[in-house]
Amino acid sequence: MNLKQIYKYGSPPNYFKLSLKAENWFLIPGILLIIVGCLGGLFIAPPDYQMGHAFRIIYFHVPSAYLSMSAYAYMAGAALVGIVWRSNVAFSVAKSIAPFGASLTFLALVTGMLWGKPMWGTAWVWDARLTSQFILLLLYLGYILLHLSIREQRKADLAASILALTGVINLPIIHYSVVWWNTLHQASTISKLSSPSITGDMLWPLLVMIFGYGFFFWGVICRVVASEILKREKRSKWAKQYIKELQ
Amino acid sequence: MDMLSMGDYGFFVWSSFLISFLVFLINYISAQRQFTSVLNEVKSHNENE
């Protein structure tokens, strides 16, 4: 893909059409991968020798935790592109990621609590990993609320993007928290694919779920981005033309 | 039955599954609804002009 093509998709109508086209290319594989991952994780993978069947929560907890962090990185990346190139499309992408990113962070925290209760004897401790993940949720919520609280679109985009970029510092803190501090939370399970700390028959459903979550996430984001672009461009000729073609 | 009880961890495992399913479903439905509502908004905007 050359620069011309990249610039082409920087235009709202082109990105809008691309998003709607790409939606099912992400959603359908995402749903299939999640079904396969769930079957593998819940019924095929053997129970853990220490945690028994409780370890199966890993198939929901780890993918949501990974995706909550990578979604934040995508959001901050889009915010940076938006600031540098004053791109309405990039700001739309950043804004669209925030709600799903926040719900994934919430999911990571809740599934972590459901795993922690039977294994640690407590659902919550203020250790470095849990606290930094909780801060990630606050950053997402801060971004959403800041956007909602400023009426003028450009100012809202700029203020929320600065907050998103500031929050990037939290990502390495979350990742390395289990290395830098003594935490109740265990160390990473698959930080290195060459030497994961779980066996292959437990690992494959986890990888399938991680990809499934990612594909599904982008499928949903495609639709949200299309909505956001159309909303911002409702006065433009192409938006009016698109509505006419639908009728 | 053993797979349902998950060796006494059934509540925790199935709750994780259910909450994950709900979060994904809610995000999917809200994305579709948001698009429909924006379409209606743009339609009514066009009609008013």
Find the domain containing B38 and state its range.
Answer: 18-49
Q: Which residues of B touch A246 (CB under 8 A)?
A: 39
What pLDDT, on a 0 to 100 scale, did the predictor assign at position A245?
A: 85
The stretch B26-36 carries a mean pLDDT of 97
Q: Do A224 and B15 touch (CB under 8 A)?
A: no
B32-43 tens-digit pLDDT: 999 999 999 888
Residue A52 pairs in a beta bridge with: A48
What pLDDT, on a 0 to 100 scale, did the predictor assign at position A180?
A: 87
Give residue B30's Cα distance to chain centre: 7
What pLDDT, on a 0 to 100 scale, did the predictor assign at position A7?
A: 73
Q: Which residues of B touch A100 (CB under 8 A)?
A: 27
Cβ–Cβ contact A104 with B under 8 A: yes
Residue B29 in domain:
yes
Residue B4 in domain:
no
Q: Name the residue among A160, A101, A162 with its Cα closest to residue A136.
A: A101
Tokens in use for B30? 């809200």
Half-sphere exposure of B32 (CA within 13 A, CB side): 7
What pLDDT, on a 0 to 100 scale, did the predictor assign at position A209?
A: 98
What pLDDT, on a 0 to 100 scale, did the predictor assign at position A244?
A: 84
What pLDDT, on a 0 to 100 scale, did the predictor assign at position B45?
A: 80
Express as a percent the part of chain B with pLDDT over 90. 65
Residue B39 in domain:
yes
Confirm if A94 and A75 have CB atoms less than 8 A apart: yes
From B30's Cα to the closest Cα of chain A, the distance in A is 9
Query: In this structure, what DSSP letter does residue A123 have?
Result: S
Q: Which residues of B touch A30 (CB under 8 A)?
A: none
Residue B49 in domain:
yes
Residue of chain A minimizing CA distance to B48: A235
What is the domain count for chain B?
A: 1
Q: Do B41 and A38 touch (CB under 8 A)?
A: no
Among the partner-chain residues A53, A111, A230, the one whose CB lies closest to the CB of B19 is: A111
Cβ–Cβ contact A220 with B under 8 A: yes
What pLDDT, on a 0 to 100 scale, did the predictor assign at position A194?
A: 61
Residue B1 in domain:
no
Residue B32 in domain:
yes
What pLDDT, on a 0 to 100 scale, did the predictor assign at position A173?
A: 96
Q: Which residues of A touch B27 (CB under 8 A)?
A: 99-100, 103, 220
The stretch B21-41 carries a mean pLDDT of 96
What pLDDT, on a 0 to 100 scale, did the predictor assign at position B8?
A: 87
Tokens in use for A193? 């694919």
- A51 burial type by CB count under 10 A (0-12 exposed, 13-18 middle, 19+ buried): middle
What pLDDT, on a 0 to 100 scale, did the predictor assign at position A199?
A: 87
Residue of chain B minimizing CA distance to A34: B21
Confirm if A223 and A19 have CB atoms less than 8 A apart: yes
What pLDDT, on a 0 to 100 scale, did the predictor assign at position A224?
A: 98
User: What parts of chain A have a pLDDT lower than 70?
Assistant: 1-3, 6, 189-196
Which of residues 111 through 140 in chain A touch B, CB cutoff 8 A?
111, 114-115, 117-118
For chain B, list residues whose CB is within 8 angstroms of any CB belonging to chain A. Answer: 3, 6-7, 9-10, 12-13, 15-17, 19-20, 23-24, 26-28, 30-32, 34-35, 38-39, 41-43, 45-46
The identity of residue A176, as a single letter, is Y
Q: Do A226 and B35 touch (CB under 8 A)?
A: yes
Residue B7 in domain:
no
Q: Which residues of A touch B24 (CB under 8 A)?
A: 34, 216
Owner of token pair 């220490």: A50
H helix runs in chain B, sequence order: 2-5, 10-48
What pLDDT, on a 0 to 100 scale, did the predictor assign at position A24?
A: 95
Residue B47 in domain:
yes
Residue of chain B minimizing CA distance to A237: B46
Among the partner-chain residues A104, A117, A226, the one whose CB lies closest to the CB of B12 is: A117
What pLDDT, on a 0 to 100 scale, did the predictor assign at position A190?
A: 65
